[in-house]
Structure 1
Amino acid sequence: MKVILLGGTKDSTNIISHLKKNYDVFILTTTTTEYGARLAQEAGSDETIARPLLKDEIISIIKENEFDILIDATHPFAEHITQTSASIAKELEMPYIRFERPITNLENIDTSHIRYVKSFDDAGKLIENEFVKGNVLHFAGANTMADIVKYVSVERFYPRILKVESSLKKCEELGVDAGHIIPMTGAATLEENIDLIEKYDASVMITKESGEIGGVVEKIEAANIKNIAVIMIQRPEIRMLEKNDIVNDLKELDKKIKSF
């Protein structure tokens, strides 16, 4: 079996390890960064591509290498690539799986500090209007910073990002001081989040609804303990996805693979 996997997430490395352990499989993983590609290689991916790909490039790679299955395990907020991957699979009439981490279960968690918004632009406006004191912890990636600093002074802005060239360049372009950059190497623990809130005198934290694997619960609990607000961006609804294309865990992934 030959699999092309759109990755760059913890989900994707878990899938690589699972497939290599349980199937006779060749895996090509595409990521947007060298860091993501290195993690994919460490998980067992046979080959990697470490740059963003256009739709035509993905189609050419699939055709030239005769891949059997396309698996999209990109981030829940990578709306464009998920729409693209679904359309590619339809166009090529090939088996397609969207691996989508479940929505965070907040049933037993105090959610009183959470403010839900639909976009980062809305998050920036909310901070500008209601959180005028204290600093802002941005736990939502480098690509979303610009929508916040349109409304929030960079003097108050502290992003937690991967210290890779593209992200550092975005910080420089936006005027974010190097001393404000918090290096990211994975999901933070409850204690680490508390330390960051205290260290940077934060009054508000921005995060995506990225699921338990993205450390959302630990962020909320830290905010609750320190009595600060969490602005949570809700997941986008991905068009073109069919319900039976989506799996939420490795058992469902196995079931789907065996159905092809």
Structure 2
Amino acid sequence: MTAPASVPALRIFAGTTEGRLLCEWASGAGIPARAYAATEYGGELLGELPGIEVHAGRLDDADMERELSGARIVVDATHPFATLASDNIRAASLAVGARCLRLARPVEALPKGIVPVASIACAARFLSENPGRVLLTTGSKELAPYTRVADFAERFFVRVLPLPGAITKCIDAGFSPSHVIGMQGPFTRELNEAMLRQVGAQWLVIKDSGTVGGTAEKLAAARAVGARCIVVTRPAEGGGTLSLREVEDALLREEDRPEQARPVQARHPPVARGRRPELAQTALQ
């Protein structure tokens, strides 16, 4: 993946454990890359790796296309629920003529006895009809649906990252400081269980984030204390997703290809965001 020394041909949107592991692998394999994290905190989690540049901060559509200029391969390793980010990454990759690989977290079967819902809004509607205290572990970005439940301020406790912005969002949404838990995971089953007992939760709301997201530990803790678990299921990814190993193999194959055998990058006109059929063209062949 030859590119000017100052512009790595490989770009990694590394907002997950899988993204961090891919950065570590690329560094060890001697493949230079530029990695992107949405926040300074996310950038710090990536650490300092030889050959890996880190850009911390959110990118708008224009910024993303400028950043991806000169890229040959773009790996989208964002969170399974970050669908808008994935759409924008695919669109920007298409616009600059880069190949886009989606590194997807493995899907695991959920146990019987949970309450599966399609969205946080659906979880909130369910809770509005079912009494009991609730521990929310679905983050700080989408709190509004919960606040539409009449007695949310008394019933709901929210666990978020211990960042000023996240805590402020909770307070501004109407959660009492005594109902906001700021902690960084990963959380063991025992710690999850202790929190559920502490707040007296009859319900636990989680996202289906897989093994690396601590889903198993949360489910086990809920069972231990007799709480019901509401699981926000993952948005459909569609075809063309790859595992970490498959992405690594694809990058090694690209490294082994003679330069003259590699496709010439052709710049495309800007792509309108949200146009799914065009975005699908970037799927791995």
Both proteins in one fold, TM over 0.5: yes
User: 1:153 deviation in Å?
Assistant: 1.2
Letter of the aligned partner of 1:157 in structure 2?
A: F
Which one of 74, 79, 83 corresponds to residue 79 of structure 1? 83
Cα RMSD over matched residues? 1.8
Which one of 242, 245, 255 corresponds to residue 247 of structure 1? 242
Structure 2: how far apart are the matches of 1:214 and 1:196?
17
Structure 2: how far apart are the matches of 1:153 and 1:45?
48
Letter of the aligned partner of 2:188 in structure 1?
A: T
Q: Tell me, yes or no, if the aligned pair for 2:68 and 2:92 is still in contact at 8 Å.
A: no
User: 1:143 deviation in Å?
Assistant: 0.6
Structure 2: how far apart are the matches of 1:98 and 1:208?
20
Which one of 23, 27, 31 corresponds to residue 16 of structure 1? 23
Q: Tell me, yes or no, if the aligned pair for 1:120 and 1:233 is still in contact at 8 Å.
A: yes
Structure 2: how far apart are the matches of 1:84 and 1:156?
37
Which one of 98, 101, 105 corresponds to residue 105 of structure 2? 101
Q: Tell me, yes or no, if the aligned pair for 1:104 and 1:217 is still in contact at 8 Å.
A: no
Q: Tell me, yes or no, if the aligned pair for 1:16 and 1:45 is still in contact at 8 Å.
A: no
Matching residue of 2:45: 39
Stretches of structure 1 that go unaligned for 5 or more consecutive residues are: none
The Cα offsets for residues 62-97 of structure 1, whole Å up to 9 and x where unpaired, read as 21xx22221111100000011111122222221211
Structure 1: how far apart are the matches of 2:128 and 2:26?
46
**1:70 corresponds to 2:74:** yes
**Partner of 1:207: helix, strand, or coil?**
strand
How high is the sequence identity, in percent, across the aligned residues? 25
More helix by share: 1
**Partner of 1:206: helix, strand, or coil?**
strand
User: 1:144 deviation in Å?
Assistant: 2.0
**Partner of 1:71: helix, strand, or coil?**
strand
Residues 147/40 of structure 1: CA separation in 2 closer, same or farther (3 Å cut): same
Letter of the aligned partner of 1:156 in structure 2?
A: R
Total equivalences in the alignment: 246
Stretches of structure 2 that go unaligned for 5 or more consecutive residues are: 2-7, 255-285
Residues 182/21 of structure 1: CA separation in 2 closer, same or farther (3 Å cut): same
Structure 2: how far apart are the matches of 1:14 and 1:25?
14
Q: Tell me, yes or no, if the aligned pair for 1:4 and 1:69 is still in contact at 8 Å.
A: yes
Q: Tell me, yes or no, if the aligned pair for 1:16 and 1:44 is still in contact at 8 Å.
A: no
Q: Tell me, yes or no, if the aligned pair for 1:5 and 1:72 is still in contact at 8 Å.
A: yes
Structure 2: how far apart are the matches of 1:236 and 1:194?
27
Q: Tell me, yes or no, if the aligned pair for 1:104 and 1:210 is still in contact at 8 Å.
A: no
Structure 2: how far apart are the matches of 1:198 and 1:14?
34
Q: Tell me, yes or no, if the aligned pair for 2:203 and 2:227 is still in contact at 8 Å.
A: yes
Letter of the aligned partner of 2:13 in structure 1?
A: L
